[in-house]
Structure 1
Amino acid sequence: MAKVRVASDGAVREVTLARGEKRNALDADMLASLTEAFTGPPAARERVTVIRAEGPVFCAGLDLRGTPRRRDWLVGHRDDAPRNRTLPCAGGGRGPGRRHRRRQ
């Protein structure tokens, strides 16, 4: 079974992380599939890409057991990928991009 599924329906493309049993932790195969999903230009009718995930967690981060020790496989095609549109999402989120208030 594919770890990343891509489906298109008119103006919407859905990319689904399908490794819920591992909390969608990214291994080398998933990163290669995600890179492939976003490498080419979008279809003429495509207006938005929705990234979804199966299971209770969107993504637990990098799967350290399923990846090689070297870092160069991760950086690979980052600068060559086309720039897609980014839209804000409703709801709260946590991660390196969110600023947190410091307790005093």
Structure 2
Amino acid sequence: MPENTLTTITDATFDELVLQARRPVVVDFWATWCPPCGPMSRVLAELAPEFDGQLVIGTLDADQNPVTTMAYRVLAMPTLLFFRDGVVTSSIVGARPKSVLRAALGNVVTPYVNR
């Protein structure tokens, strides 16, 4: 389950929170029936303070938000989509350890900071 330090994203808020965001956004597509999704969301919540003010980490319940899930062809859970200026720049499908997630988030922030 997503933690409070993460931004909850829905079909209704996706455009505003992701596509129009001024900072990079990472969207964690998850589902309640997905065993690795809970631990992955908790790891993202633990990492969120390290990237505060640099990017937005959001969670989207795929079952509750089928429009966005289908629009981005998310077929496996968990899936992370990395957005910059409203465009998907990369993705991670499946659970990953904290070190891999930290590096992936850092890669999103570094080019943004050096612009």
Measured against the shorter chain, the TM-score band is: under 0.3
Larger RCO: 1 or 2 (CA < 8 Å, sep 6+): 2
Larger proportion of strand: 2
Bigger CA radius of gyration: 1
Scaled by the length of structure 2, what TM-score is found?
A: 0.25
